Chains A and B, each alone.
Chain A
């Protein structure tokens, strides 16, 4: 496949510190040398043809790029509106877009002479991607994971450990993703001379948000080229937004253009009540400073970070990447939300219609595609990013979709174990 956007492939890249009023590098002085060095090394790696070549080979032969762009013909007909396409990012190795960033940063870490990778993980997808990249590039790997997440995402813990990673249980705070972020930042402030911290989303202190954006931009660049080959102009692009790395990567080549419409979907959870969702951009969030960056957070008037809920662990996070917050404010990206129930319905719909099993996170984007497609005409094109595939969610979706037979299966597994 030809280079969709050769300008972005190599050459000069100076990572942004701020995006409008959001972003920044809000960390203690102990982490400054690590971040300053990382920024320097990133700029130099980007210019280095050898680094770009390594990245290309890893994308082609390890990640499995390009991922297909599927014309969802049955779904389009069933909904009776727009022509729907699905970017099948969930077909990437380890099951989600997370691997694009993990591989990019692992190659950078290797180039910097680091011996050890650390990562935080919520659902386990970023941890798994980091574990795979670490194994592949001969680096040690340690993954911080909240005790609550370890309990509900046990299959990913097994997979990470099988790849040689050490998974460290985090028992502080709410024992979920945000606490794993804090634990990883603390580890890094003591270990950065030989350790690189691979943050899993387009957030955290600079240069992480823009670096993660660049490593994920391949998703949007491929989509742009694949649409061109299909002879279609997109009317609307839809992606789910937790921290926002799949969305910013998917939207990347279109951000400076007037079209298509770009729609970010947050987790509507159980409903609009406090603690019941993770709606930052259209909900009662505040501008705040946490986890090393300034953005919109779900927090109280004192600045204490709030509790969130989503059926999908990947969207269950109180902050949003700073670039997305800025693009939401400027209006380039429109934000909406989908509830737990709508996500499950969308998951079932695309499974039946197309034989494609969305991850619960991506199913939120699917839900908004279902909502918006009927309002468009068949000559208009709607593209939804399936950022991950749904295999990982089996333990959550099965008991929601067919509780009795799933419980019977689990019982028989225990008996036979």
Chain B
């Protein structure tokens, strides 16, 4: 079976600074190939309820953007590429170039900002090129050919493919339309990370060979809330790795 990498998502500062770092670490130890650390925003417009509420808890426990960069600095020592996901407000507030430089300095490999798309990016993609930080665009199923071409010209290293219309955390069914969409994205040239609704091994098996990696977020929060962090999260990540792959940090 072809390999399909796992990008594990966690909300920085949830449920608090220490446990958030420990949780992300556990996901990496469980075999996640990439970590996606979301910096919570007060007004998220693309999160499902689990992630939104986790973000709210993190903000209520005092999360600051500087804490997020500190967390990324720690995690990037693990040898697993770390991506930051957040919203435009946090990126634009200090100045886009400043935020991007900070992210690169903290050791992040990439940055995902869904509400700063290429023609309304406040200089994000250019700043990423200058700082050597991969800006990962987020595309969605009904994207027009015209818009696809805009993305292709960015020559993205990774492309985040939303798998269905709407929010994170509800079920994804891989139908012909989805497969056709993923095929269309092939022309972008970047490595595809599929997300928004992935929670089961069967879904990941279905995506193997179609995409480079799958992003899983709400599922891990659910595991954490039901059974706690630590070993439980390690196991949850390990369960989603493709068969035949040994969980662990070496790859």
Q: Does A78 contact B (CB under 8 A)?
A: no
Main secondary structure of the interface of B (DSSP, over half): loop
Contact with B along A24-42 (1 / 0, CB 8 A): 1111111011001000000
Please name 13 pairs of A and B residues whose Cβ atoms are closer than 8 Å in the assembled complex, sorted by A.
A27-B115, A28-B114, A28-B138, A28-B162, A30-B141, A33-B143, A173-B52, A190-B166, A289-B87, A294-B122, A301-B94, A302-B90, A304-B90
Q: Does A114 contact B (CB under 8 A)?
A: no
Contact with B along A177-195 (1 / 0, CB 8 A): 0110110011001111000
> Which residues in A have their C-beta under 8 angstroms from that of B49?
172
Stretch at the interface among B27-35, B38-46, B216-224: B38-46
Closest to B89 in A: A303
Q: Does B53 contact A (CB under 8 A)?
A: yes
Q: Does B144 contact A (CB under 8 A)?
A: yes
A30–B165 touching, CB < 8 Å: yes
- Looking at the assembled complex, report how far the CB atom of A27 sits from the nearest CB atom of chain B, in whole angstroms: 6
- Looking at the complex, which one of B89, B94, B142 makes contact with A289 (CB distance below 8 Å)? B89
A30–B52 touching, CB < 8 Å: no
- A193 to B166: give the CA distance in the assembly, Å: 12
- A73 to B56: give the CA distance in the assembly, Å: 52
Q: Does B71 contact A (CB under 8 A)?
A: no
Main secondary structure of the interface of A (DSSP, over half): mixed
Q: Does A260 contact B (CB under 8 A)?
A: no
B52–A299 touching, CB < 8 Å: no
B165–A189 touching, CB < 8 Å: yes
Q: Does A4 contact B (CB under 8 A)?
A: no
A26–B88 touching, CB < 8 Å: yes
Q: Does B120 contact A (CB under 8 A)?
A: yes
A28–B93 touching, CB < 8 Å: no
Q: Does A292 contact B (CB under 8 A)?
A: yes
- A292 to B140: give the CA distance in the assembly, Å: 17
Interface residues of B (CB under 8 A from A): 41-46, 49, 52-53, 56, 59, 64-65, 87-94, 114-117, 119-120, 122, 137-144, 147, 162, 165-167
Q: Does A290 contact B (CB under 8 A)?
A: yes
- A179 to B47: give the CA distance in the assembly, Å: 12
Interface residues of A (CB under 8 A from B): 24-30, 32-33, 36, 172-173, 178-179, 181-182, 185-186, 189-192, 286-292, 294, 297, 299, 301-305
> Which residues in A have their C-beta under 8 angstroms from that of B116?
26, 289
Closest to B151 in A: A29
- A156 to B92: give the CA distance in the assembly, Å: 37
Closest to B196 in A: A30
**Which of A26, A32, A172, A178 has the largest number of chain B CB atoms within 10 A?**
A26
Given A191-B166, A290-B88, 18 extra CB contacts under 8 A: A26-B117, A29-B114, A30-B46, A30-B140, A32-B140, A32-B143, A173-B52, A178-B43, A179-B43, A182-B44, A186-B46, A186-B166, A289-B115, A297-B89, A299-B89, A303-B89, A304-B42, A304-B90
> Which residues in A have their C-beta under 8 angstroms from that of B122?
289, 294
- Looking at the complex, which one of A25, A28, A32 makes contact with B45 (CB distance below 8 Å)? A28
- A178 to B137: give the CA distance in the assembly, Å: 26
> Which residues in B have their C-beta under 8 angstroms from that of A288?
89, 92-93
